[in-house]
Structure 1
Amino acid sequence: MTEPTPGSAPRPASSSGVDAHLGYARRMDRSDGLAHFRRQFHGIPQDSDAGDGGAGAADTGSVVAYFDGNSLGRPTRASLERIQKFLTEAWGGRLIRGWDEEWMALPFTIGDAIGRAAIGAAPGQTFVGDSTTVTLYKLARAALESQLSLRDDGPFRTEIVVDTDNFPTDRYVLEGIAKERNLTLRWIESDTAGGVTPGQVAAVVGPQTSLVLLSHVAYRSGFIADVPAITKIAHDAGALVLWDLCHSAGSVPVELDAWGVDLAAGCTYKYLNGGPGSPAFGYVRAELQDALTQPIQGWMGTQEVFTMGPRYEAAYGIRRFISGTPAIVGMLAMQDTIAMIEQCGIQAVRDKSIALTEFAIALADDWLAPLGVTVASPRDPAMRGGHVTLSHPAMREVTARLWAQDVLPDYRDPGGLRIGLSPLSTSFEETYRGMAAVRETLRAELLERSGLG
């Protein structure tokens, strides 16, 4: 096989099929500059991928192939040690003193680390706080309140732009705010195998647009939105923009400052490996911070936290977007993956992500297309994030059968099996094994449906 170049999926050098693909996977693993990070994840023995192209199925513990890193990342070995040490030393030893010594600042020190490593944000603009849903609500509501009082030679800005295939949380949050504040949602009809384009945004924004909320990487298809172009279109219309980075932070290069983004939110349990329910991060452009009033006024967001005065007085800067007591334990695990990304650089992560997804698409074309599977993600890697969606009416049942075999993708309607490939913890041979299991499982499912199985 030839090595992949952007825009071209790898193909076998001959008709030898499986052997050619496996040989390619092993060559890619041997030359992988990020392979040493893979051995830093729990469940992958430290001697795996040490130079022989992979140690077979045993290198992922009980899991044959983990294809769900875009929903929940693996824990790092260092994080297991970090959490244990925190319990016995920081919490168990320092007790309440931990707040003054480190914990009060942790939402902002980790936020700055995310800013440096993953989202292109200068210090003082990123915080770690609540769940993604609550963070989106706070930022959306703050943006909308600041815009409702603005007039452009006429009506108040009372419209919010969102697309029909945005992640449910984003849509539900905006539906609730719109009902609460008597605002109008302007819907962009987005393709479930694609995403929102600048032209679609330009067609719906106008003098009454207050806020545009979109996802950088579409959760279903993996489509990458053109953030700079869409942000400029919204700004030219006088609107603010809130970007959901849940499926891009830690996988796709993001440059919030350079792109002129106003607000952003993202989760930390996918490519940042923060663990189940780890708190989200929020970004607020420095120039906007003191002009916005966030709606959930809690004691941690005040100017003098321990004065505990009779009235809420919002802190200056990014602290005003914190509400209640930060989830310190929930912030611990993400630090180790953030450090990995900062060490190798997000572009190296992206390069491997492209190579992995190109390989998965090549396998899908050779093995799954004859079974009726279509690729429901952009084929151009410049327009595709870190996962690939494979579409077939049998994929719901196939996913359940794969889980029983310790092959773990996930499923999204309509008929989409998502292959989420986290570059720091996923090898090419693991991708090969998982895709081979998808092929065999789909074949078995189709045979049973035909009555021949």
Structure 2
Amino acid sequence: MEKAARRARRLDAQDPLAPFVDRFAPVPDGQVFLNGGSLGRLPAATPALLDRVVRGDWGDRLARARTQWLDLPQRVGNRMAAVALGARPGEVVVSDCTSVNLYKLTVAALDARPGRRTVVVDDDNFPTDRYVVAGVAAGHGRALRTVHTDPDAGLDLETLRAAVDEDTAVVVLSLVSHRSGALLDMAEVHEIAHAQGALVLWDLSHAVGAVDLQLAATGADLAVGATYKHLMAGPGCPALLYVRRDLQSQAVQPVHGWYGHREQLAMRPEYDPDPTIRRFLTGTPPALSVVAAEPALDLLAEAGMAAVRAKSRALTGFLTELAGAVLVPRGLRPAGPADPERRGAHVTYRHPQAGKLVPALAEAELFVDYTHPDRVRLSPAPLSTRYADVVEAVRRFREVLTAFDPPPYRKGAGVPEAAVDPYGRAL
């Protein structure tokens, strides 16, 4: 590992994004954090900003501060659009959670494509997405067509092409698989769906803030996404919601509320949706959580998403190279695309005792993630992870793996039930 450590030091010295590491709250001594795909690191500027908002805007101005937050979901949405989404002003708001936004936009998509009876989803999509879409389809008398996806390689687009027809209203997919990290070709998916007159609704949760997205340039229709992962907005921050400008007048979301009313403060007796992106809002936003999204957007804007994506590819490439040499011979097996261009910002491996392995890694102060039933997910964050951190992570991983001495991993072999969950709690 010493040769790898020397190489990491050279890469860190040459890395144009290396100074950004110091603009995050420090990781506690001795810990290595490779779990940015679950919760992004805390930008160092966030606590001071929240303190200023709490003491100044709320504490000093009291109820007068309320009016300055009325357009907060649109203001922060516009910032996300410009920095991380490649979208235009007036196409993004920050509101609710990803699941609620997915519900709102799935219903809106069906309304925008009347007469079409089919909703397409894939079986490797995030479970909540599948639950929401299945519920909407059942509640609106639509057929749900589920496409099989290879859990390691991702969705085959020819399989998708065969599943989408003139009866398809909307295709609901994750751009980056939460398990394997497989990255879809957004433009090609749009071509497949739009050729049949269908809409595409993306879940960008594992892509936004790590992948250089260009929603406007690729003709994206609808999208949602978590903001607490690679956008580093913090736990509890509402999700993003994107609707292409020309679709907004056709799509009326089902959860009517005063924030989406054309005359928000007039308190009219009847609901009249605002003609802009504001129609997709419902109730009062959690202002402190939305404000907390801004410091990370400043960092991403300064770095530039093209550079962030390049660093992400380099980090995951370095990680897979070291893991291939050190960890795979000890029983770990790749469970995602080998090509950095075809994966997002995380790398996944299979191990028959993954449910025990992840808490054991935490005991060694290496923090990664577990996905059922047998996968370990590592997410080096481009702005806050050094190449030296990757080397140290692989070193600790190797030490923990040697203690397991698992039987050879066989394709199709049963996966033992874990005695503990990924956080060390007894099952």
Q: Report TM bin, short chain.
A: over 0.9
Matching residue within 64, 81, 87 for 1:121: 87
**1:88 and 2:55 correspond:** yes
Task: Tell me the residue number matched to 1:74.
Answer: 41
| Structure 1 residue 129: Cα displacement | 0.6
Task: Tell me the residue number matched to 1:166.
Answer: 125
Letter in 1 for 2:329: P
SS in 1 for 2:273: coil
User: Counterparts of 1:347 and 1:302 in 2: how far apart (Å)?
Assistant: 37
SS in 1 for 2:314: helix
> What is the TM-score normalised by the length of structure 1?
0.88
Task: Tell me the residue number matched to 1:241.
Answer: 200
User: Counterparts of 1:226 and 1:439 in 2: how far apart (Å)?
Assistant: 34
Q: Deviations over 1:183-226 (max 9, x none)?
A: 11111100111212321211101121011000111110111101
SS in 2 for 1:179: helix
User: Counterparts of 2:30 and 2:252 in 1: how far apart (Å)?
Assistant: 46
User: Counterparts of 2:56 and 2:63 in 1: how far apart (Å)?
Assistant: 12
Matching residue within 334, 339, 358 for 1:380: 339
SS in 2 for 1:248: coil
Q: Deviations over 1:382-441 (max 9, x none)?
A: 101100001111222110111122210001123111011111111111111111111110
User: Counterparts of 1:27 and 1:86 in 2: how far apart (Å)?
Assistant: 41
CA contact (8 A) 2:224 2:242 kept: yes
Alignment of 1:400-415 (within 5 A): 400-415=359-374
CA contact (8 A) 1:22 1:429 kept: yes
Task: Tell me the residue number matched to 1:19.
Answer: 2
Task: Tell me the residue number matched to 2:282.
Answer: 323
Show structure 2 runs of 5+ residues with no match: 409-427
Letter in 2 for 1:229: E
**1:305 and 2:288 correspond:** no
SS in 1 for 2:405: helix
Letter in 1 for 2:7: Y
Runs (4+) of structure 1 exceeding 2 A deviation are none
User: Counterparts of 1:395 and 1:447 in 2: how far apart (Å)?
Assistant: 11
**1:38 and 2:21 correspond:** yes
User: Counterparts of 2:263 and 2:141 in 1: how far apart (Å)?
Assistant: 34
- RMSD between superposed Cα atoms in Å: 1.3
Q: Deviations over 1:290-325 (max 9, x none)?
A: 111100000010011111011001011101000001
User: Counterparts of 1:226 and 1:63 in 2: how far apart (Å)?
Assistant: 39
CA contact (8 A) 2:237 2:290 kept: yes
User: Counterparts of 1:144 and 1:164 in 2: how far apart (Å)?
Assistant: 20
Q: Percent identity?
A: 39
> What is the TM-score normalised by the length of structure 2?
0.93
| Structure 1 residue 63: Cα displacement | 5.0
SS in 1 for 2:176: coil
User: Counterparts of 1:379 and 1:94 in 2: how far apart (Å)?
Assistant: 54
Work out the number of aligned pairs and report it: 408
User: Counterparts of 2:176 and 2:158 in 1: how far apart (Å)?
Assistant: 17
Q: Deviations over 1:253-307 (max 9, x none)?
A: 1110010111011110001111112100000000010111100000010011111
**1:137 and 2:103 correspond:** yes
| Structure 1 residue 447: Cα displacement | 7.1
Letter in 2 for 1:87: V
Task: Tell me the residue number matched to 2:156.
Answer: 197
**1:293 and 2:252 correspond:** yes
CA contact (8 A) 1:62 1:406 kept: no
Task: Tell me the residue number matched to 2:184.
Answer: 225
User: Counterparts of 1:414 and 1:134 in 2: how far apart (Å)?
Assistant: 27
User: Counterparts of 2:194 and 2:64 in 1: how far apart (Å)?
Assistant: 45
Task: Tell me the residue number matched to 2:65.
Answer: 98
Show structure 1 runs of 5+ residues with no match: 1-17, 44-59, 150-155
Q: Deviations over 1:51-93 (max 9, x none)?
A: xxxxxxxxx3245210110110111110011111111101111
Q: Deviations over 1:208-250 (max 9, x none)?
A: 1011000111110111101111111101111111011000100
**1:361 and 2:320 correspond:** yes
User: Counterparts of 2:310 and 2:382 in 1: how far apart (Å)?
Assistant: 9
| Structure 1 residue 163: Cα displacement | 0.3
User: Counterparts of 2:221 and 2:215 in 1: how far apart (Å)?
Assistant: 8
| Structure 1 residue 99: Cα displacement | 2.4
| Structure 1 residue 178: Cα displacement | 1.3
CA contact (8 A) 1:75 1:333 kept: no
Task: Tell me the residue number matched to 1:55.
Answer: none
CA contact (8 A) 1:160 1:210 kept: yes
Task: Tell me the residue number matched to 2:411.
Answer: none
Alignment of 1:339-358 (within 5 A): 339-358=298-317
User: Counterparts of 1:146 and 1:191 in 2: how far apart (Å)?
Assistant: 31
Q: Deviations over 1:112-163 (max 9, x none)?
A: 111111110010100001100101110111111221x2xxxxxx31110000
CA contact (8 A) 1:108 1:128 kept: yes
Task: Tell me the residue number matched to 2:413.
Answer: none
User: Counterparts of 1:448 and 1:145 in 2: how far apart (Å)?
Assistant: 53
CA contact (8 A) 1:74 1:273 kept: yes
Task: Tell me the residue number matched to 2:412.
Answer: none
**1:418 and 2:385 correspond:** no
CA contact (8 A) 1:72 1:273 kept: yes
SS in 1 for 2:201: strand
